[in-house]
Amino acid sequence: MAGILFWNMRVRNETDRTTREAALREPLMRLVQSRSPEILVFSECEIPEEVIEQALNAAGQGQYVYPRSRSRRIRVWTRLAANSIVDRYNGGVTSRITIREVTVPGNDPFLLVGVHLWDRQRLTTEEGRGLSVGEVAARVRQIERTCGHSRTLLIGDLNMNPYEAGVVGTQALHAVMTRELTATVASLTPRERHSCFYNPMWCCFGDVSSGPPGTYYWVNVEEPTNHFWQIYDQALIRPDLLDKFVRVEILAHDGQESLLTPTGRPRAGSLSDHLPLYCEFNFS
């Protein structure tokens, strides 16, 4: 099995950066010990590379390296060989997307699309967020054509829920809620020109899921339509990669300690206001 972990760590250039950076080292090490991911993708992570390297390698799960890339907003670490992850796209359209081609030994390469899309304070309407993501979706399709395949995983902080137009819209990411639909929509004339993703995050909402009911908790009690738990952090899989996909999980525990407060919310004060996302693939 091969694991891929994403975390919006919320370590930015702010007054508590040093404190937050120090607090995150131990949980990060324990996450690597408990999950042993092949690849880690971080956003909002202005932690020096040497500090991350020390935390990852202290876990004793292999030697993690930082393949060189022009992307600074989205950072990728791996215990695969550094030349197994190759830059295919950064910048140009937006700094909020990085596309890498990943080769796991003995397997065909796949595309890893790391994203951190526009925050909801900047793009305040669902329509605006939907329109903005169209350029990102088009760039992914262009790189798929260039690389000659669409074995693609898109993972990151979308700042949208799975049901919003920017995620489900045909002109946007076109992510559907079941595996069966990935085959069905391809035969529908209005949608056949728009390649789709499978979005397993629908299964993570609410109490029936095995983990927390979301990745981000919005506390606004004045908003009458606020449903509090949001799934802004998502993993979307193209149909051509689905035969390798095993599962996705929102993590509430680092292996030793909870990532939640006693009231069951993300530890935004000391760690991050987002919970990590872990997905697993069978590349054997």
Mean pLDDT of 247-255: 96
Q: Say what the pLDDT of residue 72 is.
A: 82
Q: How confident is the model at residue 21 (pLDDT cuts 50, 70, 90)?
A: confident
Mean pLDDT, the chain, rounded, equals 92
Domains of the chain, CATH where assigned:
2-281 (3.60.10.10)
pTM of the model: 0.95
Q: Say what the pLDDT of residue 209 is.
A: 81
3-state DSSP of the chain? CEEEEEEEEEECCCCCHHHHHHHHHHHHHHHHHHHCCCEEEEEEECCCHHHHHHHHHCCCCCCCECCCCCCCCEEEEECCCHHHEEEEEECCCCCCEEEEEECCCCCCCEEEEEEECCCCCCCCCHHHHHHHHHHHHHHHHHHHHHHCCCCEEEEEECCCCCCCHHHHCCCCCCEECCHHHHHHHHHCCCCCCCCCEECHHHHHCCCCCCCCCCCEECCCCCCCCCCCEECCEEEEECHHHCCCEEEEEECCECCCCECECCCCCECCCCCCCECCEEEEECCC
Instruction: Tell whether the model's pLDDT for residue 14 goes beyond 80.
Output: no
Q: How confident is the model at residue 3 (pLDDT cuts 50, 70, 90)?
A: very high
Q: How confident is the model at residue 94 (pLDDT cuts 50, 70, 90)?
A: low
Instruction: Tell whether the model's pLDDT for residue 92 goes beyond 70.
Output: no
Q: How confident is the model at residue 188 (pLDDT cuts 50, 70, 90)?
A: confident
Q: Say what the pLDDT of residue 86 is.
A: 95
Per-residue CA distances from 67 to 58, 75, 77, 85 (Å): 19, 9, 7, 7
Mean pLDDT of 139-150: 97
Q: How confident is the model at residue 85 (pLDDT cuts 50, 70, 90)?
A: very high
Q: How confident is the model at residue 223 (pLDDT cuts 50, 70, 90)?
A: confident
Q: How confident is the model at residue 191 (pLDDT cuts 50, 70, 90)?
A: confident
Instruction: Tell whether the model's pLDDT for residue 16 goes beyond 70.
Output: yes
Residue carrying structure tokens 């993703």: 197
Instruction: Tell whether the model's pLDDT for residue 240 goes beyond 90.
Output: yes
Q: Bridge partners of 231? A: none
Q: How confident is the model at residue 77 (pLDDT cuts 50, 70, 90)?
A: very high
Instruction: Tell whether the model's pLDDT for residue 13 goes beyond 80.
Output: no
User: What is the four-CA torsion angle of 173, 186, 241, 70, rounded to 10 degrees?
Assistant: -30
Q: Are 182 and 189 in contact (CB under 8 A)?
A: no
Instruction: Tell whether the model's pLDDT for residue 150 goes beyond 70.
Output: yes
pLDDT (tens digit per residue) in 27-54:
999 999 999 999 999 999 988 899 999 9
Task: Classify the C-alpha dihedral 66-67-68-69 as positive or negative.
Answer: negative
Q: Are 74 and 98 in contact (CB under 8 A)?
A: yes
Instruction: Tell whether the model's pLDDT for residue 93 goes beyond 70.
Output: no
Mean pLDDT of 232-236: 98
Mean pLDDT of 45-67: 94
